[in-house]
Structure formats: structure tokens, C-alpha cells
Structure 1
Amino acid sequence: MYIENIKSPADLKQLNIEALKVVADETRQAVLNRVSKHGGHVGPNLGFVEATVALHYVFDTPKDKLVFDVSHQSYPHKVLTGRASGFLGNLDEMNAISGYSSPTECPEYDNFEVGHTSTSVSLATGLQKARDIKGTKENIIAVIGDGSLSGGEAFEGFDEASELGTGIIIVVNDNEMSIAEPHGGIYKNLRDLRESNGQCNHNWFKAWGFEYKYLEEGNDVEKLIEVFRSVKDTNKPTVVHIHTEKGHGFTPAVENKEAWHYGMPFNKEDGSRPERPTTESYEQLLSDWLLKEMKQDKTLIAVTAGTPSAAGFTPEKRKEAGAQHVDVGIAEEQAVAMISGMAKGGLRPVWTVFSTFIQRTYDQIAQDLCINANPAVINVTWGGTASMNDITHICLFDIPMLCSIPGLIYLAPTTCEEYFAMLRWAILQDKKPIAIRIPSNGVHHTTETIDREYAYEAKYKVIQKGEKVAIIAAGSFYQKGENVVRLLAEKGIKATLVNPRYLNEVDRETLDSLKGSHELVVTLEDGSKDGGFGERIAAYYGTSEMKVLVGGIKKDLYDRFDLQQLLSDNHLLDEQIVEDVIDILS
């Protein structure tokens, strides 16, 4: 086996074309070995194997700088840069390797931590400028998938690369897919370029001032080497547009590209996956609810941004929704501005987005949406600790971010029934933009009466009245609050339990009512406590005699954390909270 002996790309340069083809096959099998046992991004990596072999064969990395976009296609790169054990070894060795480009893991070959989309060209222009100022001669190569071209930062990066006017090579990996099907006007030109073998009169890249080369056979190592050699050491901004096949070499991933973009462990012989217990999910419940409501209200529009799965919109459900589902591509900023415009135009838009990706939209939410006070609705999903945990995808910062924006109400339902009541109210009201943090700790139901109307000012809900201690537990940490109250009761302390419902501001009346009979308020939020919900309550009590214990996650950039360890380190296990309460009271 070649790849076991490849410690760096320099080892590739000793091989002939036939041997390189074997290396590509072995690399593909190594990727399949990892994702079938460990899970990970399947289709994007399989489609970029040959291109990775050719890039490392032609260019002189690490002197030449290679920048990946999203990193969904970086597994073959890791195999060929001394990390094959993360693909061929045991699960511990696999766990040691990130699913994304990571200089903390391999500073020599991974230039940036990259997990969000549309960034590679912009990052590469920085390296381009640094090289030009220093007067060195290295090649700067940015890899970007066609799906990532829908993001605004990609346009900005191309614009700047053209403006700089010096040597940069942008490899456009065109597999005709984003995570799902791509959306945006640029894909019409990509299609024309593919169908004309790069010869059509209208060429988006040439119009921006780039030298342009097209390769139809994007999974052919020999032809890839030829085209990369032709642009090596260029002194001009250059695009190499390669047509690849997402999932190449693994039939299930080729036949169902969307389902195999990312996958949990599976049987690599036939692509079968272990049967999992059928459980309710908010994604399914939400998409079913929206489709039902859409039939009654043609102004109700479901919006997604390149990740329709966030709202449970499978290909079949997207087809059923028709024009009432809009996917803007991987362009969250466009989604925010568009839903503001939709609301202004009399529609009822509901944008559903993963917590980690809403970070890309601060300015648009503040400027395009909230200043205009247009009544659009944002569903924030997977927010909190029990979600994605790679350093580029942690979902802990949406509460501090959104709650710092004036004019936005951020609701935190605790149960399924409360969520859909809030969602219906948010859609029907016409005064303000409303964000709702969908619980991330599973679907919990209640038989208690749920409010159907919500005020624009914060109104907390006292669930149980007690004394001495009040537990204010928000959203997906509400059930944790219930557990803490029960454990305190076992120790003879009847605590007050409050469902705050509103994250963006305090309910002064409720907080004031606790002063007479309580010594301690404990806040619990499933996210970063720095700048979050609990600190706002602590600031309100300020110089009063009320003590406040703020429960949340310390602000940091965590990478592939263990959930229980993270909770323990932040004193958020139920028993730890109880111990802290007793210590403070005593």
C-alpha cells in the first residue's frame, strides 16, 4: 500500500502516473474506511480525491499555500500530509483527526481553521498580498466548491483577487451540488461552461478578469496534473474550473448525493446504515407543520440557506412546498435581507438556520431587519451544548449575539407545544422581528396549558412558587431546571421555578417579586454565559442584596468536546448546581 508510506507530498513526486492512480484509489478507500466507522463528510471528499493527489504532485506544499473552503473536501489532503493513521487506524486515532482544515493539528500543511463556507478565496488573497509585499514566489491556491460560490464572501474574494492582479490560482470544484441542489444565478453560467467545455461566450470568471481553464475530466489524475502544471507559477489571477462527481467511486453516494453529503457510520460494502430508533424530531415536526399551514396561507414562506435539512425540508417536501419554499444558497446574509423584504411586501417568511451559521448575519439582522422592524421570523436550531462540537461549528454564541441587537425578540420555548404556540404567534403578529430558539435537547411534550399570545415586553412564567431560591431555566435547559428543583426539594428546599421564555430582556416585575422572599437566583442557559441571558439578570439585581449564580458555558473556542465533561467543567451537572446552591445559602 502506497499511502502507508507517504509521510508528506514530497513522497508523491517519486511516483509515475500509474502509481498515482493507485494512490488515488487507496486514498478513496482510506476516506471510506474512516467515514464508514467514524462518520463524516462523504460525497465531497470522495469527489476531490484525484484533484488532491494532482495538486500535491504538481505544487510544492507546504511552500506553496493551499487553502480549502469549508473543508468538506480536505480528507484526502490529510491522508497525503502525514495523517493517514486517522483514516486507517482505530477509532482513537480517527478521533484525533478533525473533520476540517486545522493548523492546530497540522500547522505545516493546514493554513487556516475552516469550517464555514465561501471563505477560501478571501483568505487566500491575504496570503497573496503577504507574498507580494515580501517578494517571495510561492503559489497561492484556493479551492472552492461550486456550492460555496453562492456565498457573498466568495464574490468579495474574487473581486479582491482580480484587483490585486498578481498570481493566484482558484480551483473551482464543480460537482453540480451544494449540500443539496445549488441555488443562484451563477449556476446557469457554470452549466453553460460545462456544456460548452468552457468555451461559451459568457464566462463569469473571465468577466472578472481571470485567466480561465476548464477541465471536464475532473476525476482523471493525469489530466488534472496536466492542467495544474499549465498554471503553476502564474503571475495572473487564474481560475481552473474542474467538473467532478460528488461521491465518485462509491455508488450509494453517487446515486443519492444529498443524503451522502454527510453520514453517520455505515456498511461501506453496500451503504446500509444501522437502524436507529424512530424518535420525534423538530425538523420533521416543523416541516410537516409548515406544509400544512402553507395550504391555508399562501403568504407563508419557508426560507433556508443551503441547509434545507435544518427545517426538515427533504427533496420531497421541497417539491410539495413549491414556490412557498425558498433556498437562497449558502448565503445567510441574503436570507436575512430577503425575509425583511418579504415581510415588508406582505408575506410571512420563516427562516430556519443552524445556530453556528446565524453568526454570519449580525449586521443584516441589526440593519436590514431590526432597524426596519419588519415582522419576519427566524428559527434558530441546534443551539447549545448538545449539538455540533467542532471548533468551527460550536453552537454556543447565538444568545449573546442576538440578545445584543435592539428590536429583536428572542424566545426560548421549553416544550414542543410551547414552541409551536410561539411560532404561530410570531408568524401572525405584525409589529416586530421574532427569533425562536428551537430546543436542542430533544422533543419534550407537556399537558399543561400553553399561552397562545405573547407580549412584546418580556413576561416570565412562574411555574412553581417557593422561597429562598429561584431557578430561572431557559429553553433547552428548562428540564435541567426542573431536575434541580426536584433535587433541592429532596434536601428540604422548596425552590421557585421560572420559565423566562424571553432571552432578549428581563421581566422587571417578576424579578422584583422575588426580592422579598428569596436570597438566591440561579439562571441556567444552554450557551455562552458571557454576555448572555443570565448576566443580564445579574446586572439587573446589581447593588441589591439578591445573590445571582449565573449558569452557562464559559466563553471559549471548544473543539470536539465531550458533552458531559463540558457540563462538569462548567458546574452544570444537576448535582453540581444543587451543591453550589447549598454552599451559597450556607
Structure 2
Amino acid sequence: MAPLLPTIHDPADLRRLPREQLRQLADEVRACVLDNVSRTGGHLSSNLGTVELTVALHYVFDTPEDRIVWDVGHQTYPHKILTGRRERMPTLRQQGGISGFPQRTESAYDTFGTAHSSTSISAALGMALAAHQKGETRHAIAVIGDGAMTAGMAFEALNNAGVYDDARLLVILNDNDMSISPPVGALNRYLAQLMSGQFYAAAKEVGKSVLKAAPPLFQLAKRLEEQAKGMVVPATLFEKFGFNYIGPIDGHDLDSLIPTLENLKQLKGPQFLHVVTRKGQGYKLAEADPVAYHGPGKFDPSIGLVKPAAAPKKTFTQVFGQWLCDMAAKDGRLVGITPAMREGSGLVEFEQKFPDRYYDVGIAEQHAVTFAAGLACEGLKPVVAIYSTFLQRAYDQLIHDVAIQNLPVVFALDRAGLVGADGATHAGAYDIPFLRCVPNMAVACPADEAECRQLLSTAFAQNHPVAVRYPRGAGVGTVPALSLDALPYGKGEVRRQGHRIAILAFGTLLYPALEAGQALDATVVNMRWAKPLDEALLREVAEGHEALVTIEEGAIMGGAGSAVLEALQAAGIQRSVLQLGLPDRFIEHGDPARLLAGLGLDAAGIRSAIEARFGSA
């Protein structure tokens, strides 16, 4: 049997295939995903689960004229393979290569850039109503996962969308958190096709118009319809939002997907299709453990993931997870909160040891922060484990519900700075600027693993909100002490005494700063806190040096360097200051060390920038 995938250069080629060949094509796409992710690393389980759905969508709809918006976007590798990027898959998530998420600049088929959760319905509704405004008949399809439906934004969009009867909007719920249940079979396939067909829709409308003349009969018929559908599917909730609900159907059965999508394509108004898929479908190891294969590194598909030997260095996430368990054992007021990032934020052991004090609120960052505020009001000490980039989604709650009330919530900000292969959408570049301007907030920037544990203890001891920011992966490998000793609040330290130039380092860039400082015979200061600044130390250092250099793995604009300039101005001290950090542009995916070097934030780059500005020693 001749391979089909090499002949598919875009969805138009796919649509020319006989339907009976689509099963073979899906198998080839799945093999392509597995082969490439095993070589580059990336999201695997979710992509193996969306192969048939992707094939069916591009087969039925006229993409890119019809718009598909993929929620989160970590399940779009089959989509990329079928939309002209198959040959570039070996560059996936590599510097200069294609992104692991949809990007409008990468392809016309990527209709909306995504990587955070629960945005698809809002975006697709905007596209559907824009088409209506312009008199165009294109469709807009939002593909959203069951986890993303836990976010309030998804329901805000559903609530809004249900009132637009003329919108050609299809929401597809990709339900992949359960095995395919008995109702998802031949009978349910038939019911789904029947309920999505023109005859059913027309009969339903005629029935409504006849029965409305006799209101009691209309209400009785409506209740009977809801109850009858409810015996097979959870239709009522989404129909209350104004959607025509279809499903659930088997998301791996092309003979069910394609006719149902073809019927839905003919209907006007908001449509909701519930498909059930399996994470890791077609690769037994991923099916058995979809969490482990959610975002693996490189591996041999014939063997699977091999448990690595004990890592020589603990990651910052592991340091946080151990601290959380140790502090919880000491202080019964501690509670841990995560917005659906138990593994990523290092809370697995905490959940096992303290299940009654562990709260996974789902993909609902806004709720997570206000929920923490409520706990704090009652005397508990919440620790919100959240990625820096995800806290952006709860900024109003951080200000309005936590900071104004000055509540003692600790924010453990993982993935601060550049994050590598996930790129700009996940880079924690903005937390220092957006946190330090908020009254009552404090921001700690540990330089290494040992200091991270100590500063978490410092943060927990405060009676106001404190954020501790730390990067993805490991640092220089300092071994944290077993104690829960804290460091002095708001105080830095001189790590190297030099002359003429003083380098003020915030966070893990302290170590390349020390290397550059050694070469330049410069003083190097570990500032530790972006807010409050150690102003006494700053004045002392400024008065003893000709010029200052600030360095941070965060946005220069409004960042820790800006805080230094503000403090110097307030103290009436005039010094030349060179600010080093992330520039005013989005940094794309790639190896973090190479990205930092390219930005001049390695030891060589720091030294070069200082010499270019102030001359050599």
C-alpha cells in the first residue's frame, strides 16, 4: 500500500482523497507525530489523541477559509503536518524552527495564536461574527479540551455566543479525560448524525411553532426532549447557553466524525459537538501513562521513556515542592493551591502527604488567586504555585482581592524568565514590572536553589503578599539546607568586592555576573529582592563606585533595573547605570542558554556590554 502522507501538501490534497483512504492517512499522521516528537521532545499524548479529529475537520471544512481555533494549541502537531509543515517537523520547538503552538505568522492555517487555555470560543465567536458583519459565509470552529472548560472565560464566551442565532460557530469539546464509555458506539453514532441532520433541525423548529400555540403542550414537549436527550448525553447545560448540542461521539471514528461534521456544517447558529478521544491513542505506552508522555523529551519509541539516573542537580521546581512539604509539616496553616499544574509546579508529593490541604482548582487562575484570598481571610497561609506567565491572567484578582486587603498569600512563581522550547507565550518576562508597582507586594529573586528555599521561608513568614520568582530547570546546583531558616527580609549581599564598576544582579544571572565581574575586577552584588530594594546597600555601593550595572532575566522596561534608577533619583545620587535584561520584544522558542547568550546575558555578553559602555578596567 503506497504511503499517502507524502502526497498531502495542504488540506486541499486531503479533501481529494476518497473517504476510505482517510484511516490509512490518520495512521501515517500518528506515526509522523510519534517519530518527530521522539526526536525533538514536545507534547505527545494530546497530539496522538487529536489525529482523527484533525483529519476530519480539514476534510469537511474549507480551511483556511473556514477558521479553526485550537485551544491551548498543544494538540496541533497533526494540524501542522497536514497544512504544509510536515517537512519542518524535525525543527519543532527548536530555535529558528516551527513553534509547538499555533502562530499566525507561521501559517495561514493557524488562524489564532494560542498557548494559554480557554481562549478559543471567544476568538472563534469573534471570527464568526466578523464574517457575518462582512456578509461572508465562512465557519468558525473552536476546538477546546475538557480541562480548558474549567476556566470561567470559556463559559463567558458560551454565554455570549448563545444569543447569536446567525453565527456560523461550532464548538467542539475534545473530551479526553475519560475512556470511551458504552454510550459512545453505533447507537450513539446514529443518534448524533440524526440530531445534527437537517431533517431533525427542521422537524424540531416545526414542532416548536405548532406547539407554541398551546403553551402547556410546548413546555411538556420541551421537558420530554431534554429528558430523553439527557438519558444519552449531558445536553441540557450547553443547550441552556443557546447551543444545539450533539454527542458524545467517538473522536477516533472517522465514520462517525465526518458525517456528523458534514451535517453540522449545514446548520446555522451556535453548534456544540462533544467528542471523546483518548490521550496517547495508538501508542500503547502513552495510552497507559498519558501524564508521563504529556511533554516528554527525546526518547526511543520502541523502548519508551527511560527513568533517568538520579539527576546531579535538583530543579527549582523540586526545591519548591520539598520546601512546601517541609513547611506544611511545621505549620498546619499552610495550604497549597495550583491551577491544574500539579506536576509542572511540583505538588505531587504535597498532594500525597497533605491531601486535605491541597487544592487543584482547574485551569482557573483568577479563581485560584481570589480563593487564596478567602483562605487567608480565615487565618490560613495559602501558597499559590503558579507559572509566572499564568499569573498574568489573574492580575486584577492579585491587586483587588489580595494586595488591597494586604493578605499573606505566597506566590511561588515558576518559569520566571525564558522557558526554552515553549517560547514567548510561556516566558515569565513581565512579573517583576507588573508586581513591583503594586502596593503591599514584595518580589524575591533567588540566585540559586539553596537561596530559593530560604527566600520561600522568608516569604511565608511575612504578613503581606510576597512572590518568589524562580526559573525552569536547575541552577548552579547549590544544595539547599534541610532547615527552614529564612533570610533577612529585603536585604541583599555583596558577593565580590571590586572597584570602579558594581554589577547588581537579581536572580540566577548572579553567576554569569560573577564570572564577568572576575574578568573586569568589578564588584558584584546579589540584590535578592526586586521589591523592597535594599536601599541602604544600594546607596553604599553607588557611593563607592563610578558606575552601576543591573542585570535581570526579566523585562528591562519597568523591571528591577528601573527600580534601582528610581531609588537613586529619590536619594539624589547621580551615577551612570547600564540596564541589562530582556529587550522590548517577544523572545521565541529555543535552547535557554543559547537564547540568553544571543541576548548578551551570559558571562561573555555581560562583560562585552560593560566594556562597550564603560571601557575595560
Normalising by structure 1, we get a TM-score of 0.89
95 and 415 in structure 1: CA distance in 2 versus 1, 3 angstrom threshold: closer
SS in 2 for 1:262: coil
544 and 423 in structure 1: CA distance in 2 versus 1, 3 angstrom threshold: closer
1:467 aligned residue? 499
Q: Which moved more, 1:370-379 or 1:410-419?
A: 410-419
2:408 aligned residue? 375
Q: Distance in 2 between matches of 1:289 and 1:447?
A: 10
Q: Which moved more, 1:115-124 or 1:444-453?
A: 444-453
SS in 1 for 2:103: coil
Q: Distance in 2 between matches of 1:156 and 1:90?
A: 37
Q: Distance in 2 between matches of 1:580 and 1:75?
A: 40
Give the share of equivalent positions with the same residue, in percent. Answer: 34
**1:55-204 superposed matches below 5 A:** 55-87=57-89, 96-107=97-108, 109-165=109-165, 166-176=167-177, 199=232, 203-204=236-237
The answer to whether the 8 Å contact 2:451/2:480 transfers is no
Which of 548, 553, 568 is matched with 1:521 structurally?
A: 548
Q: Distance in 1 between matches of 2:46 and 2:465?
A: 36
Which of 19, 26, 31 is matched with 1:29 structurally?
A: 31
The answer to whether the 8 Å contact 2:69/2:110 transfers is yes
Matched AA of 1:572? L
2:387 aligned residue? 354
The answer to whether the 8 Å contact 1:119/1:154 transfers is yes
Question: Aligned pairs, how many?
Answer: 560
Which of 425, 448, 458 is matched with 1:392 structurally?
A: 425
SS in 1 for 2:83: coil
Q: Distance in 1 between matches of 2:441 and 2:327?
A: 24
Which of 574, 578, 581 is matched with 1:549 structurally?
A: 578
Give the superposition deviation at 1:143.
0.5
Q: Distance in 2 between matches of 1:350 and 1:93?
A: 34
The answer to whether the 8 Å contact 2:457/2:485 transfers is no
Give the superposition deviation at 1:264.
0.9
Bigger relative contact order, structure 1 or 2, given CA contacts below 8 A and separation 6+?
A: 2
Counterpart check, 1:289 vs 2:323? yes
312 and 268 in structure 1: CA distance in 2 versus 1, 3 angstrom threshold: same
SS in 1 for 2:508: helix
Give the superposition deviation at 1:45.
0.7
Unaligned runs of 5+ in 2: 180-225
Matched AA of 2:250? E
Give the superposition deviation at 1:366.
1.1
SS in 2 for 1:83: helix
Q: Distance in 1 between matches of 2:257 and 2:137?
A: 22
Matched AA of 2:122? S
**1:208-247 superposed matches below 5 A:** 208-247=241-280
The answer to whether the 8 Å contact 1:283/1:312 transfers is yes
215 and 282 in structure 1: CA distance in 2 versus 1, 3 angstrom threshold: same
301 and 115 in structure 1: CA distance in 2 versus 1, 3 angstrom threshold: same
**1:491-502 superposed matches below 5 A:** 495-502=522-529
2:512 aligned residue? 480
Deviations 1:324-354 (CA, angstroms, capped at 9, x unpaired): 1111111111111111111111111111112
Q: Distance in 2 between matches of 1:447 and 1:169?
A: 51
Matched AA of 1:353? I
337 and 111 in structure 1: CA distance in 2 versus 1, 3 angstrom threshold: same
**1:439-478 superposed matches below 5 A:** 439-440=471-472, 441-442=474-475, 444-445=477-478, 452=486, 454-455=488-489, 458-478=490-510
Give the superposition deviation at 1:116.
0.8
Counterpart check, 1:531 vs 2:531? no
The answer to whether the 8 Å contact 1:70/1:118 transfers is yes
Deviations 1:432-482 (CA, angstroms, capped at 9, x unpaired): 101001255525427999973544xx4333334443221111111111222
340 and 94 in structure 1: CA distance in 2 versus 1, 3 angstrom threshold: closer
Give the superposition deviation at 1:139.
1.1
Give the superposition deviation at 1:176.
1.2
Give the superposition deviation at 1:174.
0.2
The answer to whether the 8 Å contact 1:150/1:329 transfers is yes
The answer to whether the 8 Å contact 1:414/1:476 transfers is yes
Deviations 1:32-88 (CA, angstroms, capped at 9, x unpaired): 11111111111111111111111111111111111110111111111111122134x
Counterpart check, 1:5 vs 2:37? no
1:363 aligned residue? 396
2:47 aligned residue? 45
Normalising by structure 2, we get a TM-score of 0.85
Q: Distance in 2 between matches of 1:91 and 1:173?
A: 24
1:432 aligned residue? 464
Q: Which moved more, 1:234-243 or 1:533-542?
A: 533-542
Deviations 1:550-583 (CA, angstroms, capped at 9, x unpaired): 1111121121245455434433232332344345
**1:335-346 superposed matches below 5 A:** 335-346=368-379
SS in 1 for 2:451: helix
Matched AA of 2:103? S
Q: Distance in 1 between matches of 2:99 and 2:231?
A: 36
Give the superposition deviation at 1:173.
0.2
Deviations 1:508-533 (CA, angstroms, capped at 9, x unpaired): 32222234321111111112111110
The answer to whether the 8 Å contact 1:24/1:49 transfers is yes
Q: Distance in 2 between matches of 1:201 and 1:92?
A: 38
152 and 218 in structure 1: CA distance in 2 versus 1, 3 angstrom threshold: same
Q: Distance in 2 between matches of 1:23 and 1:337?
A: 47
34 and 422 in structure 1: CA distance in 2 versus 1, 3 angstrom threshold: same
Deviations 1:9-32 (CA, angstroms, capped at 9, x unpaired): 122222233201111111111111
Q: Distance in 1 between matches of 2:485 and 2:331?
A: 23
Matched AA of 2:105? T
570 and 201 in structure 1: CA distance in 2 versus 1, 3 angstrom threshold: closer
Q: Distance in 1 between matches of 2:87 and 2:608?
A: 43
Q: Distance in 1 between matches of 2:274 and 2:611?
A: 64
Matched AA of 1:461? E
Unaligned runs of 5+ in 1: 179-192, 490-494
Give the superposition deviation at 1:216.
3.1
2:288 aligned residue? 255
Matched AA of 2:174? N
Deviations 1:252-307 (CA, angstroms, capped at 9, x unpaired): 11111111111111111232348456132232332233223333433211111111
Give the superposition deviation at 1:199.
2.8
Alignment RMSD (CA, Å):
2.7
